Structure formats: structure tokens, C-alpha cells
Chain A
Amino acid sequence: MPELGQNQLGVDLSSTVKVMKGSKVKKGRKKHRDPRALSPAVNTIITILLGILAFACIFPFIYVIIISFTSEESIVRNGFQIIPKNWSMDAYHYLWSMKEQLFRSYGVTIFVTIVGTVISVFMITFYAYAISRPQFKYRRFFTFLAFFTLLFSGGLVPTYIVVTQFLHLKDTIWALILPLSMNAFYIIIMRTFFLKSVSESILESARIDGASELRIFFQIIFPLSLPGIATIALFSTLGYWNDWFTALLYINNPDLVPLQALLMKIEANLEFIRQNMDVANMQLSIFSTIPQESAKMAMVVIATLPIAVSYPFFQKYFISGLTIGGVKE
């Protein structure tokens, strides 16, 4: 079988739209054996293999949850155990006692994540789509413009100056959103995605019908590219949710500290104590900032769980791509 070149791909894809429309009909049909299906034996092997991998990946998280329910005394005496001697809810009681800060931080994180993701998805897909089109005369220049920033960054201090002294964003919610809203890495991924999955011929026919480029973008490209867009959205969401460094730099106001930054602050404070034992021993107020081990793990749990649980939401769009080929969910 010959290798599939870009041209062939283009021709074939022109029929995709039709296939897509047809898929709804197919979906309603009775279940038939997928031509692509694996033999049961191979499928079992793969299932087990991936199962091991998945377990290795999720095990630490289960472990964290267990530790968060372990009594502090048990941790001190026996270390982290997979089945602890004494269970305890103390860690979560402790977190409840700082609920005001926690809820506020949750609010900040959620707002930043949602607004940030929407902004970055739009900026990235627009940019990536434009530089993927052969009609765009300056596409190579703009590709390079984005790519160059992957390698050469301005450095911490100059960036800090731009944000604080030029844009005056210090201690505002925008300081948490704007610095992360573009990412050349995602632009390049999206560009590749568009190059591969959006063919000129669909666009040609639309253009002949007199549709404007913007309308084409929203009515044809956007739905067609959902798997790619969902990936970028997922990555942006992860990026915003996990970000603590921008908060470290730009936020002094405790009301604007996101969840991850709260967690990192605790880690950083611990590190400070370790390195400055003598100061710490005299200044007891430092120690009051340090929760116990189990509470720290409980923080990890509450900082990770919501975003992990929302992952299936993105997955829906990957799967919707699958249905094009008539494979059932």
C-alpha cells in the first residue's frame, strides 16, 4: 500500500463532511462488528498492559489519599503506609478550619482557569489556523515569530517588569491570566493539526459559495477540529490549574492566591525552615504556617481532584471524533 501523501489526504477529506453527516445514520444502526476490531487475545493483552501502566500512574494518587487519612501520630511513628495503623480525619478538619482561604482560592483558580482557557483557545486557534493556510503570504514569518519564542525567552526580571511596570497588572487577576494565555508549543501543535486535517478542497467549495473566511472558520473548521481544540483546551486548563509561579511573582494580596500557589507556599515555607533552622527556632511564628504531613497531602487531594474529574469532559470531544468513522462509543 502506498504511503498517503498530503494530496491524497486532501482529496479524501473532501468527502469527510459527507461521511460525518452520514455517521448519524450509521450510529443509529444495529451494532455491527467493527472492521478495525482486534482479535480478542490481542485485545486482552493490550488491556492488561495498559492496565498496569494506568495503575502505576494512578497509584501515587491513591497513596496520597490514604496518607491524607492517616493519623499524624502514625505517620511520625511508622512513616507513610499503604494500610495505616490509625486512620484519621484530622487533616480535613484542619483544612475546614481554613475554609475561607480555601474557598477563595478555589474561586480564583476556577475563574482564572475558565477565562484563561477561553482566551487562549481563541488566540491559539486563530493564530495557528492562519499560519496553516497556504494563501497566507506571511505564514512562514509568523510561524517563525511564534517558534522563536519557544527557544528564547526574555528571562524572569524583564518579564516581571513588563507585567508590573508596563502593563501594571501586579495584584490583579489578569496577572494570573495574560502571561499564560499564549504558548508557542500549542500553536505549533495546532498548526500541524490544521495542516493535516483541514483540506483546501472543502474550503474551496465553501469559498465558491461566497462564505467569508471567518464564517468558514466558525462553521466548518471549528467543528471539524474539535479533537485538536479539545486537546489545546485541555492543556491550557492544566496549565492554568497547575500554575503557581505567576502567583508567586505577581500576587501579594491573599485574596487572589490560587490553590496551587497555596500548596507551593507551604512547601516553600518548609524548605525555608530547613535552611534557616536557627531563625526558625527563635521565631516561632514561622512554624504556625506549617500544617502537618497529612494535611499537606489532603491539600494535594483537593487541589488535584476537581481538574482530574473534569477530564472526561474533554474526552467527549476526542470520542466525538471517533464516531465519524462509525465506531461506537
Chain B
Amino acid sequence: MKKFARDIYKNRVWLLMVLPGTIWLLIFSYLPMFGQVLAFKKFRIDPDGFFASVMNSEWVGWSNFKYLFSTDDAWVITRNTLVYNIIFIVVGLLAAVGTAILLSELMNKRLSKVYQTSILFPHFISWVIGSYFVFTFLSTEHGLLNHVLGWFHIDAVSWYSESKYWPFILVFMSLWKGVGYGSIVYLASIVAIDRTYYEAAMIDGATKWKQIKHVTLPMLKPLMIILTIMNIGRIFNSDFGLFYQVPRDSGALYSVTNVIDTFVYRGLMNLGDIGMSTAAGLYQSFVGFILVLITNYIVRKVDEESALF
């Protein structure tokens, strides 16, 4: 006990630094986690407020989770979610790092600035508006793409009912919106790399490519690992707008656009069941959590410095 008190005293500066953040986390993140028990309850409203409601609702075991596994479709959506996220993580990482390196190498710094501003733009546009843009390209009647196909005497494609194109469209749109944001994280990191490393490499006669390979990438490695670990934690979640608004909720595309989040949203429309939606969230988080622990464990075995914790 005495040792504990001494440790606290010794670490007082650090503790003081994490204090505001910790208070925030406790109030805004940990306190509401109480609600997760609803995943195991049949929610009934009690006049004495939410706590009473939670306490007095009946335990129903795992039955709120059942719908996530009970049908063939449920497996299809799990597969979709996983496959899309793996592609997004890999392609997103390559694109973001690649763009960041290219931006940092660009000689004309003023142009680089303009480019940075532009690629960040899609981040501002909500998927609702984004779905309009996609529509102007893909609309069967007036769409730009069908116009272009017309020039080459190719028959118009009914884009919103042909599921085979959508995996590409979705990956493309995800990149379009995310690459600017991602590349700026990496760019900030590249900018912070000590220039003397490059100078040393130059003296050693390293080519540009070697400099990137042996200086830039190793320096970015910790960040890449951390961001990937975090993305793996959200591998069962997906960007709702991308999968719901962009394909315009078209039934013909469900086989390739239905992911866990959209499945849950549609499935609970007629039920309005807060227990079942909590269950879905808990399931997504829990799987993510396990995957993160595993990944982190592996990373720690290989390279302790890069591990998250």
C-alpha cells in the first residue's frame, strides 16, 4: 500500500496529464457501457428512468444474438463485411502511404499544397451527397458512364441492378473518400522524420527508391502497424452510408452490398428492438477486440516496440 502511494507520488506529473482525458473517458465512454447488458435483456421501459428499465428488464440469455447467425443470409453478410474490410485495410494502407510519399517527394511544394487540399475534399462530403454524385455517373438514363459507353457503341448498363460491378465501385468510393484523410496522417509523420537520415543515406549512395525503402518506410512502420491494428478492431463494422446510401438501397445489389450494419438496420426496422441492436454492436466489438489482442500479441512477438500495448 505504501509502495502504491509512493508510486502515485512519483508519477504525479504523468497522472496529472492523463487526468482530464481519463475523466472524459470515464464519463463519456465507460459510464455508458453499462448499457451493454441490454444485449442480454428484453428491454421494457420502466417509469423510473433508464436504470430502472435496465434493471427490471428480463434476462433472455443469448436470444438477442440469434438473428445474426440463424440464416444463410446472415453468413453472407458476415462474409461481405469481412472481405470488404480486409480489402479496405490493405488497399487503403497502400494508397494512403503511397500518396503520402508521393506528396512529400513532389518538388513543387506549392502544387503539393494544392493537391493536399483537393484530396482531402471528399472527406467533407456526406454519403448522402456522395450518393448523388455516384448517381450522376451511374444513372441508367442520364448517367455519364452510359453516355461514354454509347460513344463506343456499348449497350447501356443498368448499374443499380448489376451486382457484379459493385465490389469495385464500393472499393473505389471508399478510397475516394478515405485516401486524403489517411495520407495526411502519414504525411505528418514523414514530415517529422529527421532529414539527417536522408543525408546519411545520400552519402552512402542510396537511390531514391532505396531511401524510401530504408528510411521512410521503416520510420512509418510503427504508425502503419498501429493504424492497421485499430482497423482490425473494427473489421466487423462498416461505413453505413457507403453500403446503404451509395447503392441507393437497391435490392438487386444486396448480395454484394449487404453488410452487418445494413442487415441490422433493415432487420430491426419492423421490430425496433434495442436489445437486438445492442447485441449486434457487442458482437462486432467483441470479435474486433479478440482480433486486436491476437494481432497485438503477434506484433509484440515480432517487434515489441511497435506493439500497441
Residues of A within 8 A of B (CB): 1, 3-6, 9, 12-13, 15-16, 19, 34-38, 42-43, 46-47, 49-51, 53-58, 60-61, 63-64, 79-80, 122-124, 126-127, 129-131, 133, 135-140, 142-147, 149-155, 157-159, 161-162, 165-167, 178-179, 181-182, 184-185, 187-189, 192-193, 195-197, 212-214, 217, 225, 227-228, 230-231, 234-235, 238, 242, 263-264, 267, 300, 304, 307-308, 311-312, 315, 318-319, 321-322, 324-329
Contact = CB atoms under 8 A, between A and B. Distances in A.
Interface string B50-86: 1000000000000000000000000000000000000
Given A46-B106, A61-B121, A178-B24, 5 more contacts: A1-B204, A57-B176, A142-B22, A159-B28, A161-B50
Contacts of A264: 126, 128
Interface in B98-133: 99, 102-103, 105-109, 111, 113-126, 128-130, 132-133
Contacts of B180: 57
B222 interface: yes
B204 A155 contact: no
Given A47-B106, A50-B115, A162-B27, A325 B233 contact: no
B257 interface: no
Contacts of B215: 4
Given A147-B308, A321-B191, A137 B33 contact: no
Nearest to A226: B192
A322 B191 contact: yes
B285 interface: yes
A136 B15 CA distance: 8
A50 B103 contact: yes
A151 B288 contact: yes
Interface in B167-196: 176, 179-181, 184-185, 187-189, 191-192, 194-196
B152 interface: no
Contacts of B181: 235
Interface in B248-293: 274, 278, 281-282, 285, 288-289, 292
A195 B303 CA distance: 15
A238 B177 CA distance: 14
Contacts of B230: 150, 185, 188
Contact of A137 (B7, B122, B187): B7
Interface in B195-234: 195-199, 201-202, 204, 206, 208, 210-211, 214-215, 218-219, 222-223, 226-227, 230, 233-234
Contacts of A182: 21, 24-25, 28
A146 B125 contact: no
A197 B188 CA distance: 11
Contact of A149 (B25, B34, B176, B204): B25
A158 B33 contact: yes
A325 B34 contact: no
Contact of A130 (B18, B50, B189, B206): B18
B35 to A, nearest CB: 3
B158 interface: no
A324 B119 contact: no
B223 A158 contact: no
Contact of A304 (B125, B142, B208, B219): B125
A300 B22 contact: no
Nearest to B202: A35
A300 B113 CA distance: 23
B30 interface: yes
**Interchain residue pairs A-B with the least CB separation, the first 6:** A154-B32, A325-B195, A158-B35, A158-B32, A127-B21, A54-B118
B189 A196 contact: yes
A38 B107 contact: yes
Contacts of B308: 143, 147, 188
A155 B43 CA distance: 14
Contacts of B176: 56-57
A37 B188 contact: no
A51 B115 contact: yes
A325 B230 CA distance: 31
B309 A126 contact: no
B116 A57 contact: no
Given A3-B218, A137-B11, A154 B35 contact: yes
B154 interface: no
Contacts of A131: 18
Contacts of A80: 132, 136
Nearest to A125: B17
Nearest to B144: A82
A197 B192 contact: yes
A312 B107 contact: no
25 contacts: A1-B201, A3-B214, A4-B197, A42-B208, A47-B108, A54-B114, A123-B24, A126-B18, A130-B18, A133-B14, A146-B21, A153-B29, A157-B35, A158-B32, A162-B27, A165-B49, A188-B230, A189-B226, A227-B189, A242-B124, A263-B126, A264-B128, A267-B128, A300-B129, A312-B117
A155 B129 contact: no
B124 A228 contact: no
Nearest to B180: A57
A227 B120 CA distance: 17
Nearest to A135: B14
Contacts of B5: none
Contacts of B185: 189, 231
Given A126-B20, A329-B109, A15 B278 contact: no
B223 A189 contact: yes
Given A3-B218, A126-B21, A57 B106 contact: no
A329 to B, nearest CB: 5
Contacts of A189: 185, 223, 226-227
